[in-house]
Structure 1
């Protein structure tokens, strides 16, 4: 298998990117990155495309809500435009895959909820084809709370979504969800096209559980890739079809560009990504 391409989820530098889009992308290019994963791109596709072109970067993947009327995150809610609007913006930027970043906990706790998630994603996949795009899903930890007949809600979801749907596995959140990350990578197999390279110390309990206290990303003890609990090397080596190794920090431990460069060097120097 060819090495996956190194990328970075721009949510990691949300503050810096909002303050200085061009300068932030230039810094990423100086680090050596050639790809990014955009977020919050639907309201400003032309601006983002121009900034990417100026920095010599591409955004082959991007995050946008496709499955929720409103997207909750630990740092606030994001309104959701119609799928067609999302796909028009993604095509303008030059993306190939639009990935839903999160579906809230309560919808993962019942079989009907999981079926609805899969049905919506399958429908979005069909619509995306009209724009020359694919869709995908990115996990957190709530997908692993419920079990149905010995299978997690996430495993049930995988059995229900069309094979054309791309899977992006966030290694840190899968670990927080109590998963054997390497085994999960093997189970997903060739459907796994992107991995979120994220490390840290897993909290003692799943913060997405219904009875968990409300939390924000600032409470997370996240580390540079290779410095935490996540078996990043083993997971990437177990992957059979991963195209993108996407660096992400929900809460960068230090200066964010230095943190990104640290994880980038971990990937490149370790022969894990190109």
Structure 2
């Protein structure tokens, strides 16, 4: 059975602040079957209740809070939300991805958090931006060098757009990382830092090539910012991905 297409709710963060339940309803109405939370500590019981009512699964969540709050409290909230995959989406100094010592520190941090998450039956992962791609450590992208230092159960959520902007041949990168990659962030746009993203299929990203390189990974749409109506962009992205799956 194919995994449902998801939306990272950071895409609609401004709308969530106004009416979270209405946002979830509109995402479900578009046809998405999953959402990825960005702050699971914000009313986890209410979030889960609404997601269940709408038939939305919550396979994964971002968890910046693990870097600053008591881990058990955060993981208890994630257990209530129901996610099995817990992702650190940044918050580690960018310069730590430019040296071997920095990568060692990062791996120690992630491995420790992964051990803690494992006691809850969860897996911990890391989500990239461009700054984990641009630096090369011993001839490979920093994210690849980091992967070699991570415990076997720690996974990666590869943001395909930022990996491309950072200079990676994304399909080749995904091929080398292999089973480490459990989720993809899929977005489109001009491929330039600081410029707005677009609906999938309306930018320069070779999205079909990215998806083909990691066929078993979760597909999660995320648009960091967008100049058009965000719900229209999400609807177009859903239609684009659905058509790709049918092809």
Given the two structures, how large is their TM-score scaled by the length of structure 2?
Answer: 0.93
Tell me what 1:183 maps to: 172
Give the Cα separation in 2 of the matches to 1:162 and 1:66. 21
Whether the 8 Å contact between 1:59 and 1:94 is mirrored in structure 2 is yes
CA deviations on 1:81-102 (whole Å, 9 max, x unpaired) are 1222221111011111110111
**Structure 1 or 2: more helix by fraction:** 2
Higher relative contact order (CA 8 A, sep 6+): 1
Superposed CA RMSD in Å reads 1.8
Q: SS of 1:91's equivalent? A: helix
Tell me what 1:122 maps to: 111
Shift, 1:53, TM fit = 2.2
Tell me what 1:224 maps to: 199
Q: SS of 1:61's equivalent? A: strand
Tell me what 2:64 maps to: 65
> Are residues 1:38 and 2:37 paired?
yes
Q: SS of 2:101's equivalent? A: helix
Shift, 1:67, TM fit = 6.7
> Are residues 1:254 and 2:228 paired?
yes
Shift, 1:36, TM fit = 0.2
Give the Cα separation in 2 of the matches to 1:96 and 1:161. 18
CA deviations on 1:106-138 (whole Å, 9 max, x unpaired) are 221221111111111111111111111111111
Unaligned runs of 5+ in 2: none
Whether the 8 Å contact between 2:4 and 2:32 is mirrored in structure 1 is no
Give the Cα separation in 2 of the matches to 1:173 and 1:84. 31
Q: How does 1:19-168 map to 2 (within 5 A)?
A: 19-65=18-64, 68=67, 80-102=68-90, 103-168=92-157
Give the Cα separation in 2 of the matches to 1:128 and 1:264. 31
Tell me what 2:181 maps to: 192
Whether the 8 Å contact between 2:86 and 2:123 is mirrored in structure 1 is yes
Q: SS of 1:188's equivalent? A: helix
Unaligned runs of 5+ in 1: 69-79, 208-218
Whether the 8 Å contact between 2:39 and 2:64 is mirrored in structure 1 is no
Whether the 8 Å contact between 1:21 and 1:51 is mirrored in structure 2 is no
**Structure 1 or 2: more strand by fraction:** 1
* Residues paired across the two proteins, number: 246
Tell me what 2:238 maps to: 264
Q: SS of 1:258's equivalent? A: helix
Q: SS of 2:124's equivalent? A: strand
CA deviations on 1:249-272 (whole Å, 9 max, x unpaired) are 000231111111111111112117
Given the two structures, how large is their TM-score scaled by the length of structure 1?
Answer: 0.85
